[in-house]
Structure 1
Amino acid sequence: MSSREHILAKLRRNRPQGPALPDIHAVPFITFDDKFAAFQSLVRNLGGDAVELPAGGSVHELVAQRWPQHGRVADLSVPGYEQADSPHLWNDVDIAIVPGELAVAESAAVWVSNADNRYRSVYFLTQKLVLLVPRHAIVDTMRDAYDRISVREHGFGGFISGSSRTADIEQSLVMGAHGAMAALVIFI
Structure 2
Amino acid sequence: MSRDAILARIRTARPPATALPDIHALPFVQYDDRYAAFAGLIANLGGQALQLAENQTIRQAVAAHFPAHGRLVDLTQAGHEEADSPHAWHDVDVAIVPGQLAVAENAAVWVSTPGNRYRSLYFLTQKLVLVVPRAQLVDTMRDAYRHIRIEEHGFGCFISGSSRTADIEQSLVMGAHGAMAALVLFV
Same fold by TM-score, threshold 0.5 exceeded?
yes
Structure 1 counterpart of 2:83: 84
> 1:27 deviation in Å?
1.1
Rounded to whole Å, the distance in 2 between the matches of 1:65 and 1:25 is: 43
Equivalents in 2 of 1:186, 1:147: separation in Å? 22
User: CA shift at 1:22, angstroms?
Assistant: 2.2
Distance 2:54 2:146 in 1: 30
Please give the per-residue CA displacement for 1:69-104, whole angstroms capped at 9, x wherever unaligned.
Answer: 110000011122122121000000000000000000
- How far residue 116 of structure 1 moved from its aligned partner, in angstroms, is 5.5
**Which amino acid in the other structure matches residue 93 of structure 1?**
V
**1:97·1:132 contact (CA, 8 Å) conserved in 2?**
yes
* Corresponding position of 2:24: 25
Instruction: Summarize the alignment of residues 86-165 of structure 1 with structure 2, pairs less than 5 Å apart.
Output: 86-115=85-114, 118-152=117-151, 154-165=153-164
Shift of 1:63: 1.1
| Distance (whole Å) between structure 1 residues aligned to residue 50 and residue 168 of structure 2 | 34
TM-score, with normalisation over the residues of structure 2? 0.88
2:55 aligned with 1:53: no
Contact 2:99 2:130 in 1 (8 A): yes
- TM-score, length-scaled by structure 1: 0.88
- Unaligned runs of 5+ residues in structure 1 are none
The 1:124/1:54 distance shift into structure 2, 3 A limit, reads same
Q: Secondary structure of the residue that 1:136 maps to in structure 2?
A: helix
Name which of structure 1's ranges 61-70 and 17-26 shifts more when overlaid on structure 2.
17-26
The one-letter code matched in structure 2 to 1:180 is A
- Contact 1:76–1:98, Cα closer than 8 Å, also in 2: yes
Residue identity matched to 2:121:
V
* CA RMSD, 1 decimal: 2.2
What is the Cα deviation at residue 151 of structure 1? 1.0
Question: 1:95·1:126 contact (CA, 8 Å) conserved in 2?
Answer: yes
CA shift, 1:18, in A, is 6.0
Q: Cα gap change, 1:31/1:73 in structure 2, threshold over 3 Å: closer, same or farther?
A: same
SS of the equivalent of 1:63 reads helix
CA gap 1:44/1:20 in 2 versus in 1, 3 angstroms: same
Q: Per the alignment, in what secondary structure is the counterpart of residue 152 of structure 1? A: helix
SS of 1:156's equivalent in the other structure is: coil
